[in-house]
């Protein structure tokens, strides 16, 4: 199968074309989900000429089966659970608390690592474009949406280059606007639609954050 995007930066440029109505709008803020969403978000913000920041979200993996998401947590302590997984999970309460404690530490570590002392941008009464490099189950994105809802965001736009059709359809009912470049029926994993889907490193994220600060 031919891939659609060269890399995350090129995907961000394609996505920015579908968000052009937000260009130069001083009410707009682009938030990327680390780490893979950061290169995409940085390109969107650069093309729209609006501020860019990170929004840390971590999947809550089932202990021993970390790839199975029981939910996710976001900056500020917001937690979203997947009821279908919770219902079949043995010792659900203890498993969820164990995963939450572990990932809360990682959220704090990433906040300190990527921000280098810089406070988060204020999202109150802003139009926030939430960006990731793709959507599979949508668990991490839902945690970010819930967290922004608690912080008084005026309008939430979810923007991704690619997503599973059912996930994009569901999320479209939960936010003010959903923008997905492609949602192919034959969706197995986000990485299948990128030529280069290598891991985004911490140094790359810090450099993009530094550039954003300099541009601001």
**Residue 216: what pLDDT?**
66
> What tens digit of pLDDT does each residue of 156-209 get?
999 999 999 999 999 999 999 999 999 999 999 999 999 999 999 999 999 999
As a whole-number percent, the residues of the chain with pLDDT over 70 amount to: 97
Q: How many CB atoms lie within 10 A of CB 45?
A: 25
Beta 52-54 vs 28-32: how paired, if at all?
Answer: parallel
**Within 13 Å, how many C-alpha atoms sit on residue 206's CB side?**
10
Segments of the chain assigned to CATH 3.40.50.2020: 8-57+120-215
Q: Which residues pair with 58 in a beta bridge?
A: 73
pTM (2 decimals)? Answer: 0.87
> What is the CATH T-level fold of the domain 8-57+120-215, as seen in this structure?
Rossmann fold (3.40.50)
**Residue 1: what pLDDT?**
45
**Residue 85: what pLDDT?**
84
> What tens digit of pLDDT does each residue of 102-137 get?
899 999 888 888 887 788 889 999 999 999 999 998
CA 74 to chain centre: 10
Surface-to-core class of residue 139, CB atoms within 10 Å of its CB (0-12 exposed, 13-18 middle, 19+ buried): buried
Of 43-47, 87-91, 144-148, 206-210, the range with the highest mean pLDDT is 43-47
**Residue 124: what pLDDT?**
92
């Amino acid at each position: 199968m031919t891939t659609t995007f060269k890399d995350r930066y090129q995907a961000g440029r394609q996505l920015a074309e579908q968000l052009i109505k937000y260009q130069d709008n001083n009410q707009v803020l682009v938030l990327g989900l680390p780490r893979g969403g950061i290169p995409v978000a940085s390109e969107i913000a650069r093309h729209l000429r609006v501020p860019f920041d990170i929004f840390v979200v971590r999947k809550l993996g089932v202990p021993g089966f970390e790839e199975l998401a029981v939910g996710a947590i976001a900056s500020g302590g917001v937690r979203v659970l997947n009821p279908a997984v919770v219902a079949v999970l043995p010792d659900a309460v203890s498993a969820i608390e164990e995963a939450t404690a572990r990932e809360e530490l990682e959220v704090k570590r990433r906040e300190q690592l990527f921000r280098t002392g810089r406070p988060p941008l204020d999202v109150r009464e802003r139009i926030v474009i939430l960006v990731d490099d793709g959507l599979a189950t949508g668990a991490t994105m839902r945690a970010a949406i819930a967290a922004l809802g608690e912080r008084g965001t005026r309008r939430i736009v979810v923007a991704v280059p690619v997503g599973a059709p059912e996930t994009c359809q569901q999320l479209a009912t939960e936010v003010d606007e959903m923008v997905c470049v492609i949602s192919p029926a034959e969706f197995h994993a986000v990485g299948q639609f990128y030529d280069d889907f290598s891991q985004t490193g911490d140094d790359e994220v810090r450099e993009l954050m530094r550039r954003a600060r300099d541009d601001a």
